[in-house]
Chain A
Amino acid sequence: MSPAVAAAPVRRRRDSTRPRLAPWLFLSPAIVLFVLFLVIPMGYAIYLSFVALRVEGGAFGTRQQVFVGLENYVDALTDPELLASLGRLATFGVIAVPLTLGGALLFALLLDLPRVRFARFSRTAIFVPYAVPGVIATLLWGFMYLPTTSPINFLLTSVGLPPIDFLGPQGIYGSLANIAIWAGLGFNMIILYTALRSIPVEMYEAARLDGAGEWQIAWRIKIPLVAPALLLTLIFSLLGTLQAYSEPTTLKSLSNSISHSFFPLMKVYRDAFGLDNVSSAAAMSVVLALGTLVVSLVLLRILQRRTFEEAK
């Protein structure tokens, strides 16, 4: 009966101020850090998105910060360049996300087969690219893409095939997606693989007794049971896609197909630090952050209901 015994002194102490303070004391480091490094910067960014630098006083008047209301937001939402960059990001995402998740699931299922060899080695080998920093990964791949250094094109041309224009206006999406897939597949695979390992072995035994083959086990047992993990990796991949920045920025110096505003975050950076238009960058950031939040929540709500109902 220990819960009852423990409850008694708590009730008595509730009269003094002490217990009301204690939780706050323990929470305070987290709250202080949260406010200092999250709430204040976000609040400042939101503040900046409502002001702008405007000139008063002739051709050589200096710029002063003034309140402009929603003007920055109107500009951001009607900016064809931002919309175009979102379109490019969507093209990239449509290639990268399904292939990353599909590949991750495929490798996880393969590694989970009962008689697979070199499982540990393969798992590590597939995961290692995730540990390579994005900029370095992009440089590695960049030299694979460059016409003069590309070993792929060297092989293609040596057998008489036309070289692939990896850095051309169309090829660039596949090339960027390839880097993202290469880097992200291993991480997602580990999540899915871990989920697969947590499925009780008895289920497989029962399925085998019922005459199910490996293919049927994978399709009817494993995939439905890792659906929540698959949802998690989908959300991660979508967030990763929306934050794509370092790969195109690094590849920009190698390709004429990547403009200063190729992806939304590149445009945000350019506005803030190249054109000294912090307000426009702040407004775009808020729009992007809200958009991301809404997309994730909606997706989570729809898919979660479906996956967990199916899993039941």
Chain B
Amino acid sequence: MKRITAGRLIAGVAATATALSLAACSGGAPDEDPVTLTYWTWAPGIPDIVETWNADHPDIQVKVEQPAGADDILAKVLSAQRAGNGPDMFAAEYQKVPNFVLAGAGYDITDLVADSRDQFTDATWGLVTVGDTVYGVPQDTGPMVLLYRGDIFDEHGWTAPATWDDYAALAEQVQAELPGTYLGGYPDDGSTLAGYAMPLGAQWWSTDGDSWSVDIDGPETQRVAEFWNDLVSRGLADTTHFFTPEWNTELNSGTLLSWGAGIWSAGTIASVAPDTAGDWRIAPLPSWDGETTAGLMGGSSAMVGSTTTHAKEAVEFLTWLNGSQEGSSALAASGLFPASIAGQESLNSLDVPEMVAGQDDYWQIAQQVAADSATFTWGPNVQLAFDTYSNNVQAAVQNGTPFVDALTAAQDAVVADLKKTGYTVK
């Protein structure tokens, strides 16, 4: 028998490892036609639309992968990039775009997308711009509306509240006429809270030269928190978090009559409360002081990864998917509310979602709020703000402490984190 020494053993292992890594390298995109781009997304309708693109563009083939949902994609993209196999393109929620960019995951596509600028509104374009640099193409958007039970409202002669004062009065009336039923729930997540505060002009993050300013506990957001604090303490607002089984039950049983959320809400509750299809309607969110601007909640963009070697091709595909008539109307047909102007115009030819079947002016209201949505800048540590706010406001409800304390907690956590990371904070 041949003698095996430790040295040979190690050499053998090393050789195997080298062979494996070589094999892994050869799997990457070779610099020859056709180019294959990887695209990470979670939107269910995308693969079908990409098939159309692939059929028409043999030289730029796109491979859709769905490794993670909106919550986990940041960590997955960063890990993949650090490991040297990051995707060429990936979906990023608007509030995570600065986080991706400042983590070094984004590719500067300012010059490559310059021609597509006028296909989008200022509000959505602003969300993919960090500083003066554009890092992504807007895909879908979520101007906020009030989704409410039209059938129950009609039965009782109620109308959708035009102002938040009307909303509070109606919440009282609902409770009086239908004990145990709530008009709506309070915002226990940062996304909804920010959306409610945007029309008032709240800017949670802003930059001034080289420094960041944080204003999560500013007067605008405080006003929103105090409004809901009042309703919750009077027992007029539901405290169930959305998409929990309890919340789903309330929607089904008609004990929760409205939901203030992005325009996508009519589509998402279809899986939760299918029996109430056709009972719902939308209205613009109530206004604080008569302003018409709508807040934005949710929506996402497609970013180009910093590790790509084919940024030009990636942008070509992304502007087709998200900006062109063909791509964005396909997005609209797949159930997304497209960010592009052409995509939103194409909505008129679609049926209204089944949950709001019967509301003829559904698309008009949607387009109207989308056209007049607030501009907002997200910061590098949005998730921290959201988590801190949620944890603290839920505790505030349980302990009966003021909601504004949760804003202070989020403000302090965000400022401390920015400073620790090395940013200058004013």
Contacts and interface: CB of A to CB of B under 8 A. Distances in A.
B292 interface: no
B5 A21 contact: yes
Given A28-B9, A54-B422, A256-B240, 12 more contacts: A24-B6, A55-B102, A55-B421, A59-B208, A59-B424, A63-B104, A75-B420, A149-B249, A260-B391, A261-B391, A274-B75, A275-B384
A253 B189 CA distance: 13
Interface of B: 3-6, 9, 13, 71-72, 74-75, 78, 99, 101-104, 130-131, 133, 188, 207-212, 239-241, 243-246, 249, 381, 383-384, 387, 390-391, 394-395, 397-399, 420-424
A28 B13 CA distance: 12
A15 interface: no
Interface in A261-298: 261, 270, 272-276
A32 B6 CA distance: 11
Interface string A222-250: 00000000000000000000000000000
A142 B384 CA distance: 27
A143 B246 CA distance: 10
Given A55-B421, A270-B387, A276 B104 contact: no
Contacts of A61: 102, 422-423
Given A54-B421, A275-B384, A254 B398 contact: no
A150 B272 CA distance: 20
Contacts of B210: 58-59
A41 B212 CA distance: 36
Contacts of A256: 188, 239-241, 394, 397-398
B244 A253 contact: yes
A254 B244 contact: yes
Contacts of B3: 21
Contacts, number: 104
Contacts of B131: 59-60
Contact of B387 (A54, A148, A260): A260
Interface string A56-69: 10111111000000
B6, B9, B208, B422: which has the most chain A beta carbons within 10 Å?
B422
Q: Which 3 A-B pairs have the closest CB atoms?
A: A55-B422, A58-B210, A259-B391
A25 B12 CA distance: 14
Interface residues of A, number: 37
A102 interface: no
Nearest to A270: B387
Given A55-B422, A55-B423, A149-B245, A275 B212 contact: no
A174 interface: no
A147 interface: yes
A126 interface: no
A141 B422 CA distance: 45
A168 interface: yes
Interface in A145-188: 146-149, 168-169
A32 B13 contact: yes
Contact of A274 (B5, B71, B394): B71
Nearest to A81: B391
Contacts of A56: 422
28 contacts: A21-B5, A28-B6, A28-B9, A53-B103, A55-B102, A55-B421, A59-B211, A60-B101, A60-B133, A61-B102, A61-B422, A62-B104, A63-B104, A63-B422, A146-B245, A148-B245, A148-B246, A148-B249, A149-B245, A169-B398, A254-B244, A256-B239, A256-B394, A256-B398, A259-B391, A260-B391, A276-B78, A276-B103
B99 A276 contact: yes
Nearest to B212: A59
B386 to A, nearest CB: 9
Contacts of B240: 256
Interface of A: 21, 24-25, 28, 32, 53-56, 58-63, 75, 142-143, 146-149, 168-169, 253-254, 256-257, 259-261, 270, 272-276
A37 B245 CA distance: 40
Contact of B245 (A143, A257, A274): A143
B40 to A, nearest CB: 16
Given A55-B421, A256-B241, A275 B6 contact: no
Contacts of A53: 103, 421
Which residue, A53, A56, A143, has most C-beta atoms of chain B within 10 A? A53
A135 B47 CA distance: 31
Contacts of B208: 59
A62 B394 CA distance: 33
A24 B6 CA distance: 8
Contact of B130 (A55, A60, A143, A275): A60
A274 B383 contact: yes
Nearest to B5: A21
A261 B74 CA distance: 19
Given A148-B246, A256-B394, A62 B72 contact: no
Contacts of A253: 243-244
A60 B6 contact: no
B383 A275 contact: yes
Contacts of A273: 72, 75
Contacts of B188: 256
B124 to A, nearest CB: 20
A276 B96 CA distance: 11
Contacts of B74: 276
Contacts of B101: 60, 62
A272 B423 contact: no
